């Protein structure tokens, strides 16, 4: 199957001020713009089959700076969690809310007042990337690499699903601004190839091209015993 690169948007004015932006139209700050340019330099070496984005302006700005000239496809299901009445509030204030410990330790039970359930956010985001991955694999082959730009909690929910974790454990995962997380879905399970990567070469995420008639084999979903030779190949027979 294809390889998905999850890129979080660069730092925003809300991030810098310690606020919860939610779905508000906050923009990248100076640091965030620099982060977007830097991640773009790393991404340019990759033959991206598609670029997908959350509709929010901070994601679109990140891609404009990272991949100038690329026209991303907007995917509504990758938008930020609907935090409802929490949006625009300082995190220090929210930490005193009775809902805060539930968000930290039992997020699958959280429905934000006037907003969205975290479980619903996770379901729509995971569904979106799995749909896109299947479509792009069918169109471009198993060696395809594609990118989705989204938000911290959304990315963490997708990673938790890929790792087989319950949503209640997703707060253990970190997705920094402008970080890259790579997931390769296979017929039976996903592999998390990179997590919260903010530097280094991404070239080995491109798989060697296979013969055109080469069909998927059961070993495509196998993990290399002993760790293998690196993320350029998964399975035991390559």
* pLDDT given at position 229: 43
- Secondary structure of 169-200 as H, E, C letters: HHHHCCCCCCCEEEEEECCCCEEEEEEEECCC
Q: How confident is the model at residue 237 (pLDDT cuts 50, 70, 90)?
A: very low
pLDDT per residue over 25-41, tens digit each? Answer: 999 999 999 999 999 99
Judge contact between 166 and 160, C-beta under 8 A: yes
d(CA 206, CA 228): 16
Judge contact between 208 and 233, C-beta under 8 A: yes
Q: What is the mean pLDDT of the chain?
A: 90
What domains are defined for the chain? 3-201 (3.40.50.1240)
- The alpha carbons of the chain give a radius of gyration, in whole angstroms, of 18
Tokens 């773009």 -> residue: 40
* pLDDT given at position 73: 98
pLDDT per residue over 1-27, tens digit each? Answer: 899 999 999 999 999 999 999 999 999
Residue 113: how many other CB atoms lie within 10 Å: 10
pLDDT per residue over 174-233, tens digit each? Answer: 999 999 999 999 999 999 999 999 987 888 788 777 666 556 666 565 544 444 444 544
* pLDDT given at position 1: 80
152-178 average pLDDT score? 96
d(CA 9, CA 33): 9
Residue 82 has pLDDT above 60, yes or no: yes
Percent of the chain with pLDDT over 90: 82
* pLDDT given at position 236: 34
Residue count of the chain: 238
* pLDDT given at position 221: 56
């Amino acid at each position: 199957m294809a390889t998905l690169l999850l890129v979080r948007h660069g730092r925003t004015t809300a991030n810098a001020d310690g606020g919860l932006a939610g779905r508000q139209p906050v923009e990248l700050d100076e640091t965030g713009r620099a982060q977007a340019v830097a991640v773009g330099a790393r991404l340019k070496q990759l033959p991206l089959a598609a670029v997908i984005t959350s509709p929010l302006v901070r994601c679109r700005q990140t891609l404009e700076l990272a991949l100038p000239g690329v026209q991303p496809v907007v995917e509504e299901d990758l938008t930020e969690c609907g935090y409802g009445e929490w949006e625009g509030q300082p995190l220090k204030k929210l930490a005193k809310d009775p809902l805060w410990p539930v968000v930290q330790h039992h997020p699958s039970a959280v429905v934000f007042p006037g907003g969205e359930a975290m479980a619903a956010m996770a379901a729509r985001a995971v569904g979106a990337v799995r749909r896109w991955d299947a479509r792009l694999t069918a169109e471009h082959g198993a060696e395809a690499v594609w990118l989705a730009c989204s938000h911290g909690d959304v990315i963490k929910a997708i990673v938790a699903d890929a790792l087989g974790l319950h949503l209640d454990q997703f707060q253990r995962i970190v997705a920094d601004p402008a970080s890259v997380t790579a997931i390769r879905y296979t017929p039976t399970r996903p592999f998390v190839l990179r997590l919260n990567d903010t530097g280094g070469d991404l070239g080995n995420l491109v798989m060697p091209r296979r013969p055109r008639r080469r069909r998927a084999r059961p070993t495509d979903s196998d993990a290399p015993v002993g760790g293998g030779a690196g993320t350029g190949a998964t399975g035991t027979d390559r």
